[in-house]
Amino acid sequence: MNQKILALKVAALCSLLTLANPSFAQTMVVTYQGRVLDNGTNFTGTGQFKFALVTSTNISSQATAIANLTGNFVTSCTVIFGGNGYVAPPTVTISGGGGSGATATATVTGGAVTAISVNSTGSGYTSPPTVTIAPPPDNISFDTYWSNDGTSINGSEPTGAVSAGVSNGLFTVALGDTKVANMTALSATLFGKPDLQLRIWFNDGVHGSAALSPVQNLTPAPYAIQALNASNLLGTLPAALLTSIGNTNGGSGNFFVGPSGNSATSGSKDTAIGQSALQSNTNGSDNTANGANTLFGNTSGNNNTANGAYALSGNTSGNNNTAIGYNALPSNSTGSGNIAIGANAGNAIFTGSNNIDIGNSGFGDESNTIRIGTTQTKAVMVGIYGGTIASSSGLVCVNPSGLLGTVPSGGATLAGDLQIGTGAGDYRHLTLGGGNSSGFLYGSFPKFGDGRRCHIAHLRRIWRNNTGCRRSQQRADDRSIGCDRRRRDGLWHVQQQQ
């Protein structure tokens, strides 16, 4: 053969990827571009190419040996491994060890190095030098996984060729494009095989076909097809990875990830993510469980949302509950309409309903209660101070337990002292509004100033008689006056004293 193929220089391997079916791609097309030299010249014209995807194993192996010293001289060499595939005695090189000049010759028997004879001992060696035996010629065995016409076996040359134009050595071929003559489809599953190589044969139409050298290792680009097609996710997956169990016993629309959910449930539209989430569910529907053991005990409850490990873990038949946070509402079993936000929020609720617990455990399995906070010492609520509402619901009070409520229609009782003003010069008004209002001061007479004298800006004096009620207003000068007290008709009054 007069043709001499010097090299195949690949400009770009898999520079373009086109999927025959982007949604469920089982076949693919890889556009391959390379360069070919024919007798040392970039070929131009129509070339005949053949291709095979293979893996290769080099049967040949390199021999090894060590040097032995006597004094400062190399006197012998010991073969450690004879190698395989030698067809002639290989070159032996002795280097290092602090000396120089030692030479040796290898003996080959049955394709292996069996002995090394020292020709010159050299001199000046202070440690054993390195003995290097040249490798044997490659003896490659191939396994074929695909070829352009499907006829290659064990890396052999395919029968049919693919015609492709070559310009100044460059050629482009669409591997796997079945519209091209003598081209079979490429399966995406091929690229699940590691270490694939591409063998190429070329014929210039004059000198016959020859294998191009070297064999081309596939770069990562074609292997990206494996991820693009996700062929390793096709088919049924173990439940520990990703499942859609729970849709075979009457249930529908359920989605369970990992070891969660119940495959025998008849409930629908349930979502569970996490170890044992919704594991006991039998016919509950529209539940969402996110976290280990969330809604673990739920059997028939509906419309529950649990987010956080152990949230609503004890719920069995309660409905419309929302638990957000670690161990939120963990003991609720049959209560409904509860909202718990925060770690351990609502953990005192067992069967109560319609509670809102934010950062609070709740109390005594109550119902219809809002509790916010546990150890806080300050409460700030914007939008209240300075605002007015059109309402006659009454005064809002807080009892020592933090319970809020409005004043009953009968009035409010002030158990402690009421101070109006903080200094001697402060002036404040106490107004009793309404057409029929009366002011009552029970117990000790009100103490003004030091108990004997006071500053009065306005004094409203009220009395009753047997025929009805009337009132008069007396304006006193803003001056010091004497005060005494007397009782008329069961009321305390303040009278000016000259």
Q: For the chain, what is the mean pLDDT?
A: 77
pTM of full prediction above 0.85: no
Q: Decide if 432 contacts 441 (C-beta within 8 A).
A: no
Q: What pLDDT band is residue 448 in, cutting at 50, 70 and 90?
A: very low
Does 435 score more than 90 pLDDT?
no
Half-sphere exposure of 439 (CA within 13 A, CB side): 14
Longest Cα–Cα distance in the chain: 150
Residue 400 belongs to a domain: no
Q: Which CATH number does the domain housing residue 201 bear?
A: 2.60.40
Greater model confidence, 72 or 479? 72
Stretch 294-323: mean pLDDT: 94
pLDDT at 494: 41
Does 427 score more than 70 pLDDT?
no
Phi-psi region of 349 (alpha: psi -120 to 50; beta: other; left: phi over 0): beta
pLDDT at 413: 60
Does 47 score more than 90 pLDDT?
yes
Q: Taking the mean position of all CA atoms in its chain, how far away is CA 293?
A: 19
What tokens appear for 305 in the block? 């949302």
Stretch 197-213: mean pLDDT: 90
Greater model confidence, 349 or 259? 349
Of 196, 216, 231, the one marking the end of a domain is 231
Q: Domain count for the chain, please give it.
A: 4
Stretch 204-221: mean pLDDT: 82
Are 35 and 168 part of one and the same domain? yes
Are 47 and 195 part of one and the same domain? yes
Greater model confidence, 423 or 376? 376
What tokens appear for 438 in the block? 């009366």
Residue 408 belongs to a domain: no
Does 493 score more than 60 pLDDT?
no
How crowded is residue 238: how many other Cβ atoms within 10 Å of its Cβ?
7
What tokens appear for 362 in the block? 């709740």
pLDDT at 91: 97
Are 456 and 491 part of one and the same domain? yes
Residue 412 belongs to a domain: no
Are 149 and 21 part of one and the same domain? yes
Q: Which of 111-125, 163-177, 238-252, 322-336 has the lowest mean pLDDT?
A: 238-252
Q: Buried (b) or exposed (e) across 262-284, using 16+ Cβ within 10 A?
A: beebbbbebbbbbebbbbbbeeb
Are 271 and 304 part of one and the same domain? yes
pLDDT at 431: 53
Q: Decide if 397 contacts 405 (C-beta within 8 A).
A: yes
Are 283 and 311 part of one and the same domain? yes
d(CA 380, CA 360): 17
Q: What pLDDT band is residue 212 in, cutting at 50, 70 and 90?
A: confident
Residue 126 belongs to a domain: yes
Are 298 and 258 part of one and the same domain? yes
pLDDT at 249: 75
The 10s digit of each residue's pLDDT in 22-33 is 333 456 788 888
pLDDT at 365: 83
Phi-psi region of 293 (alpha: psi -120 to 50; beta: other; left: phi over 0): left
Exposed, middle or buried, 21 (CB in 10 Å: 0-12/13-18/19+)?
A: exposed
pLDDT at 476: 40
Are 267 and 356 part of one and the same domain? yes
Residue 14 belongs to a domain: yes
Greater model confidence, 32 or 76? 76
Q: Which of 90-104, 409-423, 447-461 has the lowest mean pLDDT?
A: 447-461
Q: What DSSP designation does 315 have? A: -
Are 247 and 331 part of one and the same domain? yes
Residue 383 belongs to a domain: no
**Using alpha carbons only, what angle is made at residue 160 by residues 156 and 161, rounded to the nearest 5 degrees?**
100
Are 363 and 436 part of one and the same domain? no
Helices (H) and strands (E) in the chain, counts: 1, 32
Are 202 and 243 part of one and the same domain? no
Exposed, middle or buried, 330 (CB in 10 Å: 0-12/13-18/19+)?
A: buried
Q: Which of 70-74, 158-162, 440-444 has the lowest mean pLDDT?
A: 440-444
Helix (H) or strand (E) holding 221: helix 220-229
Residue type, 145: Y
Of 231, 248, 276, the one marking the end of a domain is 231
pLDDT at 376: 87
Helix (H) or strand (E) holding 18: strand 8-19
Residue 272 phi, psi dihedral angles, 5° rounding: -135, 130
Give the three-class secondary structure for 36.
strand
Q: What pLDDT band is residue 481 in, cutting at 50, 70 and 90?
A: very low
Q: Buried (b) or exposed (e) across 344-376, using 16+ Cβ within 10 A?
A: bbbbbbeebbebbbbbbebeeeebebebeeeee
Residue 16 belongs to a domain: yes
Residue type, 492: W
pLDDT at 10: 35
Q: What pLDDT band is residue 298 in, cutting at 50, 70 and 90?
A: very high
pLDDT at 115: 96
What tokens appear for 445 in the block? 């007479």
Domain of residue 20, residue span: 8-58+140-231
Stretch 226-234: mean pLDDT: 50
Q: How far apart, in Å, do the first and last CA atoms of the chain sit?
A: 146
Q: Which of 144-158, 174-188, 339-353, 451-465 has the lowest mean pLDDT?
A: 451-465
Of 133, 163, 179, the one marking the end of a domain is 133
Q: Decide if 312 contacts 295 (C-beta within 8 A).
A: yes
Q: Which of 4-13, 96-105, 324-333, 411-420 has the lowest mean pLDDT?
A: 4-13
Are 45 and 191 part of one and the same domain? yes
pLDDT at 315: 93
d(CA 370, CA 367): 9
d(CA 232, CA 190): 11
β pairing state of 45-58 and 140-147: antiparallel
Residue 469 belongs to a domain: yes
Greater model confidence, 148 or 477? 148
Q: What pLDDT band is residue 246 in, cutting at 50, 70 and 90?
A: low
Q: What pLDDT band is residue 41 in, cutting at 50, 70 and 90?
A: confident
Give the three-class secondary structure for 188.
helix
Q: What pLDDT band is residue 252 in, cutting at 50, 70 and 90?
A: confident
Look-up: residue for tokens 């770009």? 12
